[in-house]
Amino acid sequence: MVKRLLRHKPAVITLGIILFISLIGILAPVIAPNDPYKVDLINKFASPSFEMPFGGDQLGRCIYSRIIWGIRPTLGLAFITMIGTIGLGLIMGLIAGYFRVCDEIIMRIVDIMLAFPSQVMVFAVVALLGIDVRNVILANVFIKWAWYARMIRTNVMKYKEKNFINYSRVIGNSENFILLKHLLPSIASETAMLASLDIGWAIINISTLSFLGLGVQAPTPEWGAMLNEAKEVFIANPIQIIVPGVAIILVVSLFNLLGDYLRDALDPKEVM
């Protein structure tokens, strides 16, 4: 799987750009030229300059520094959300697809979960648990795991009657061994592709909740929260809303491209 991925140049380039952006976020304390929390009303709506490449916001804070620091919560929360979603969906999908006795129960729960509009469910969970970053993550995991469980179950059922699985079962390997050593590697590429596509969804969802005041709260420099602050001063300082908006579009587009490239790179029928 890794060798096929490395031979696909567009996938490698896209992944490299994403890793570079993530590295910028990790090194934000070193790279950012200014304190993202420092209020300096003298620089209110300051024009772009060498010290402040994107100018200042309504409190005189450096927009450029806040964008760099915003990589941490924006991508970090999205990755945590996807780890939780894939983890729960993978467990439930493997159990449902491999053990027929559990399939009916898990799939009926999945049907119930998928019957409700996802955004309505997110708002309901956040309203019930309260406005908090942890609750935003729980809400996103709660409404998305069912979709992953269904997709992973389908892939498990596709592989579980293959000859190599039947041979492993006949020679006496345990169910856990078959699940971990045979089925899990077999569905890894499809799961990785789905995850890369859905990280973009997680970024938009978390940023949307922050924009609505239900996610990350000010003054934390998260891109959705920055849009929430900027909407009040859009006419006076349009760059304040344009920069985080473009950042969200760019990163989401990169993850969507990565998902498409992974699908092409990991397709066993694709001739590289």
pLDDT tens, residue by residue, 224-265: 999 999 988 888 899 999 999 999 999 999 998 888 887 776
Give percent above pLDDT 70 in the chain: 95
Name every residue whose Cβ is closer than 8 Å to that of residue 269 and which is 6 or more positions away in sequence.
none
- Over residues 130-152, the mean pLDDT reads 85
Q: What is the pLDDT of residue 151?
A: 87
- Contacts of 153-158 spanning 24+ positions with Cβ under 8 A: 153/92, 153/93, 153/94, 153/96, 153/97, 153/103, 153/106, 153/107, 154/97, 155/93, 155/97, 155/186, 155/187, 155/190, 155/191, 156/93, 156/94, 156/96, 156/97, 156/98, 156/183, 156/187, 157/97
Q: What is the pLDDT of residue 252?
A: 93
**How does pLDDT run across 66-76, given as a tens digit for each residue?**
999 999 999 99
CATH label, 2-39+52-265, candidates 1.10.150.530, 1.10.3720.10, 3.30.70.260, 3.40.640.10: 1.10.3720.10
Cα–Cα–Cα angle for 93, 192, 110, rounded to 5 degrees: 25
- For the chain, domain boundaries: 2-39+52-265
pLDDT for 268 beyond 60: no
At residue 4 the predicted structure's pLDDT band, cuts being 50, 70 and 90, is low
Q: What is the pLDDT of residue 269?
A: 46
